[in-house]
Chain A
Amino acid sequence: DTAVSQTPKYLVTQMGNDKSIKCEQNLGHDTMYWYKQDSKKFLKIMFSYNNKELIINETVPNRFSPKSPDKAHLNLHINSLELGDSAVYFCASSQDLTGPQPQHFGDGTRLSIL
């Protein structure tokens, strides 16, 4: 019973392609996140949605577009992939925004750009 699941686990593609990563949580949480972990192991927030509403939008190229069709799903679409997009992308969720709370993470999607 995976709480936060993301697909695919691995994604290898050519520069210039467009790709999507899907994320689903079955915890009944209101808030979802996308993080990027680069080669230096920094885990940086990219986006956050609360009840399908965008609440965090960090300085990320507009080639990255999140979409939340409902509060259990937060997908990440990336246009015109570049070499620097190679990283591990983690989806996470938390109960809601009422006070600080721990986040539950998926197992990551390793994106490799050739």
Chain B
Amino acid sequence: DQQVKQNSPSLSVQEGRISILNCDYTNSMFDYFLWYKKYPAEGPTFLISISSIKDKNEDGRFTVFLNKSAKHLSLHIVPSQPGDSAVYFCAARASGTYKYIFGTGTRLKVLA
């Protein structure tokens, strides 16, 4: 049972445009969400997070939006740069637990 889903395995975007990566979840007990970026042959690196008490968190070119009623979060990258080309994972943690559940990732390719 996959509690965190990233339904788009890949996405291509022109440099300078907005990249929108989506993530859906099924567990209403999730209260903390993170996005990680992963380059080939490296481990995931933390990008941005959001608590369930908020609906938006921004850090530079990266903004995460959370829609609790739809159980959906998205990562916006504006403007997209070629160096953003990587696999992006969303992850979620349920209240009172220490375990993070990861999605399967979306490969973003930013075209120059």
Chain A residues with a Cβ under 8 A of chain B? 4, 31, 40-45, 48, 50, 55-56, 58, 90, 92, 97, 100, 102-108
Set of chain B residues within 8 Å of A97, measured between Cβ atoms: 98
- B25, CB-defined interface residue at 8 Å: no
Is B42 positioned at the interface, with any CB of A under 8 Å from its CB?
Answer: yes
Q: Is the CB of B93 within 8 A of A42?
A: no
21 contacts between A and B (CB under 8 A): A31-B98, A41-B104, A41-B105, A43-B44, A44-B102, A48-B99, A50-B98, A56-B98, A56-B99, A58-B99, A90-B44, A100-B93, A102-B34, A103-B46, A104-B45, A105-B44, A106-B43, A107-B41, A107-B42, A108-B41, A108-B43
> Hey, which chain B residues are within 8 Å of A104, CB to CB?
45-46
B31 touches A100 (CB 8 A): yes
Interchain CA distance A31-B82 in the complex, whole Å: 34
Residue numbers of B with Cβ under 8 A of A are 31-32, 34, 36, 41-46, 49, 51, 89, 93, 98-100, 102, 104-105
Q: Which of B31, B34, B41, B89 contacts A43 (CB 8 A)?
A: B89
Contacts of B89 in A (CB 8 A): 43
B105 in contact with A103 (CB, 8 Å): no
- A103 contacts B100, C-beta separation under 8 Å: yes
For the complex, what is the distance from the CA of A31 to the CA of B44, rounded to whole Å? 17
Report the number of A-B residue pairs with Cβ-Cβ less than 8 Å: 47
Q: How far is the CB of B108 from chain A (nearest CB, A)?
A: 14
B102: A residues at CB distance < 8 A: 42-44
Q: How far is the CA of A90 from the CA of B43 in the complex (A)?
A: 7
Question: CB distance B42 to A42 under 8 Å?
Answer: no
CA of A91 to CA of B102, assembled, Å: 15
Q: Which of A42, A56, A100 contacts B51 (CB 8 A)?
A: A100
